[in-house]
Structures are given as structure tokens and as C-alpha cells.
């Protein structure tokens, strides 16, 4: 004797339409998934509206022939005040090896950002200003400051969150290993 399972009721076309509409509404109301912050092995986001001190656009792709060390911070960030002078010394030391250091400032008021950079003694780094944080939001750093090392192909090779005294030695060691 063969026992058959009871037949499933057929769904009507209107039932399928209702389910489809419900799914569309749920998807429309769901929060959009944010892009993940770049990590080691990811492509570095291009700057959107970063400008230098003279108001010229700063682009990551302009540095494709060499390595880039880019740090994100602002005048409100206490560790940034200590990091920038240390990174500026490294920028001078690594320039002959084809490494460009970029200090990306997120102050809403560019004149405050410029004063902060001057106070920190930044002379050997490219200074970029992102007052609406449109580029900083693409990098989405978890900590301030956060430093990224990007290779000539535009790939993130090292991420250094925050700053404590002595981190310049850690960054130099990471750079030396990458530049071999």
C-alpha cells in the first residue's frame, strides 16, 4: 500500500503578487548596507572632494607611481596632535624611497584645519582638507587617527589605528617590510 502526502493547495497569482509587493516594501524600508571600511587587501577609495591648501583637488591616483601613507584626523583629536609631528618626520625620511605621506583633515572649518596643521608643524606631508567628510566617510575609520599604507596599485597594505608615543617605530618597521 502506497501512502501519498496530501496535495498542497495551489497559490493564486494574487497571492504571489501580494508576497512580491510585501518583499519589495520590506527591502525599500530596510536600511541601506554601508560600504565596509577598507582593510588590508582592499582597493583604496578615491578621494571625492579633498582639496589642498591652495584649493586644488587632491587625488589618490595622482600618487600611483609610489607608496602612500595616509592618515585621517582633525583638530578635535588629541592623539592626532602627537601623531602628525611624528609622521611628518617619517615623511621626510621616506620621501627618497618614493613614499608620500598625506594628512587628511576632517575639520568642518578649513581655516581651523589649516591652523591645526600649522600648529602640528606639518611640512613634509601633503595636506588635504575634507570639510564635509565625503571622502573620510568612504574610508570610515573606526578610530581617530587611522593611518593607511597604500601600494602603487592602490591596494591597502597596512592599517594602523589610533596613535600612541612610539608608534612611529611600528609604522617605520611596517614600511620597511613592505618596501623590500
pLDDT at 131 > cutoff 80: yes
The DSSP H or E segment spanning 171 is helix 167-179
* CA-based R_g, the chain, Å: 24
Q: At what angle do helices 110-119 and 78-94 cross, to 10 degrees?
A: 60
pLDDT at 20 > cutoff 90: no
CATH 3.40.30.10 correct for 60-179: yes
Domain ranges of the chain: 60-179
Percent of the chain with pLDDT over 90: 78
pLDDT at 23 > cutoff 90: no
Q: What is the pLDDT of residues 31-65, one digit of tens each?
A: 333 457 899 999 999 999 999 999 999 999 999 88
DSSP labels, 154-168: SBEEEEEES--TTHH
Amino acid at each position: 500500500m502506497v501512502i501519498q502526502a496530501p496535495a498542497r493547495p495551489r497559490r493564486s497569482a494574487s497571492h504571489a503578487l501580494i508576497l512580491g509587493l510585501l518583499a519589495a516594501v520590506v527591502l525599500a524600508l530596510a536600511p541601506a548596507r554601508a560600504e565596509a571600511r577598507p582593510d588590508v587587501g582592499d582597493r583604496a577609495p578615491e578621494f571625492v572632494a579633498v582639496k589642498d591648501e591652495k584649493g586644488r583637488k587632491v587625488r589618490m591616483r595622482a600618487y600611483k607611481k609610489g607608496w602612500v601613507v595616509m592618515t585621517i584626523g582633525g583638530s578635535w583629536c588629541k592623539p592626532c596632535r602627537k601623531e602628525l609631528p611624528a609622521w611628518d618626520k617619517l615623511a621626510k625620511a621616506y620621501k627618497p624611497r618614493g613614499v608620500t605621506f598625506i594628512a587628511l583633515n576632517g575639520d568642518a572649518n578649513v581655516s581651523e584645519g589649516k591652523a591645526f596643521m600649522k600648529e602640528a608643524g606639518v611640512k613634509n606631508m601633503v595636506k588635504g582638507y575634507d570639510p564635509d567628510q565625503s571622502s573620510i566617510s568612504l574610508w570610515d575609520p573606526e578610530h581617530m587617527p587611522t593611518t593607511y599604507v597604500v601600494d602603487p596599485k592602490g591596494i591597502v597594505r597596512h592599517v594602523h589605528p589610533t596613535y600612541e608615543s612610539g608608534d612611529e617605530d611600528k609604522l617605520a618597521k611596517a614600511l620597511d617590510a613592505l618596501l623590500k
